[in-house]
Amino acid sequence: MNQLEQLKAYTTVVADTGNFKQMAQYAPRDATTNPSLILKAVQQAEYAPLLSEAVAAHKGRPLDEVVDRVLVRFGLEILKVVPGRVSTEVDARLSFDTAATIARAQRLIAMYEAAGIGRDRVLIKIASTWEGIQAARALEQQGIRCNLTLLFSFCQAVACGDAGVRLISPFVGRIYDWYKKQAGASWDEAGMAGANDPGVRSVAKIFHYYKKYGIATEVMGASFRNVGQILALAGCDLLTISPDLLTQLQSAEEPVTRALSPQSEAAEVPHGCTFNEARFRWALNEDAMATEKLAEGIRLFAADAVKLDALIQGS
């Protein structure tokens, strides 16, 4: 078996792309999208008609509604390919507005339901700010399942678990990027690979904490820079992987061994804890990497949302 087939024995594989025509060859169970991936897809000639049709069908409606129609249209096409769930993201510009995030999530779900898709097949992606986590708490209580993204720190993961969030997406590659940049010339690529990779260590810590304390929230490693990071997390609940890395896994046949298991005990698993708003904000503030990467991630997604707005307005 190739490495992708072997990995599927331990972990649910998720495709991280808006390119649904490319997706079937990897046979993922779920798929994730974000503003950047959708923007990239709609600028390809093969997807231009889909964008035009969605915009034309809702001409005269508010821009934010038309954007959501485009996102859902892509989600509907993806759900024809994958047997599981699609993640559709709330506008990153609402990351600090709990009420607006709830309203946008409810609208996205209503659009899916109007197209005959049940709530069990959709995850609403929301940034892991305090406001986003509280929005997810309310949405989960309404039966709207959430995927908390842009997650870089342990305090974000604990707060998501406390809120009853269905799934979190800790960003392995962006954590790795930060530590590598900080180390500069002293970075030891070989020494910081595999289980020693700072992004891998962060996800493993969260995974073992959730399993130790019976937290039902699913852990989905995301944002990978290389195959080594993926294989070091074999056994994580889910892993969302870009097409380039899926292709690399599909082309390799070296043995894949399970790295994480619910039964395995990590060397250091923190004691059970909880965060109110003040403690959460302080813990996040104390983590320079998480603070910087969360802010940067929101800015980048918001910038791509602006570009998508402009593209739609010009259609």
pLDDT on residue 209: 94
Contact status, residue 200 vs residue 175, Cβ threshold 8 Å = no
The one-letter amino acid code at 46 reads E
Q: Which residues, 6 or more positions from 68, have their beta carbon under 8 angstroms from its beta carbon? A: 104, 107, 108, 111
What is the spatial distance between Cα 174 and Cα 103, in angstroms, rounded to a whole number?
29
The beta-carbon contacts of 283-289 under 8 Å, at least 24 apart in sequence, are 283/153, 283/154, 283/155, 284/153, 284/155, 284/156, 287/152, 287/153, 287/155, 289/152, 289/153, 289/175, 289/178, 289/179, 289/182
Contact status, residue 102 vs residue 90, Cβ threshold 8 Å = no
Q: Which residues of the chain have pLDDT under 70?
A: 265-268
Nearest to 96 by CA among 302, 309, 276: 302
CB neighbours of residue 184 within 10 Å: 7
CA–centroid distance for 158 within its chain: 17
What is the spatial distance between Cα 137 and Cα 65, in angstroms, rounded to a whole number?
24
Structure tokens at 131: 């406001």
Contact status, residue 209 vs residue 269, Cβ threshold 8 Å = yes
Structure tokens at 203: 């996800």
List Cα–Cα distances, 152 to 131, 214, 291, 306, in angstroms. Answer: 16, 21, 8, 24
pLDDT on residue 272: 76
Q: Where are the beta strands (DSSP E) in 98-182?
A: 122-127, 146-151, 167-170
pLDDT on residue 263: 77
Indicate the SS3 state at residue 221. strand
* C-alpha torsion sign, points 90, 93, 95, 99: negative
pLDDT on residue 217: 98
Structure tokens at 86: 């699609």
Indicate the SS3 state at residue 200. helix
Q: The tokens 């792309």 sit on which residue? A: 17
Catalytic residues: 125
> pTM of the entire structure?
0.95
Sorted by where each starts, the structural domains of the chain and their CATH numbers stand as 3-313 (3.20.20.70)
DSSP state letter for 61 = S
CB neighbours of residue 84 within 10 Å: 15
Q: The tokens 């093969």 sit on which residue? A: 46
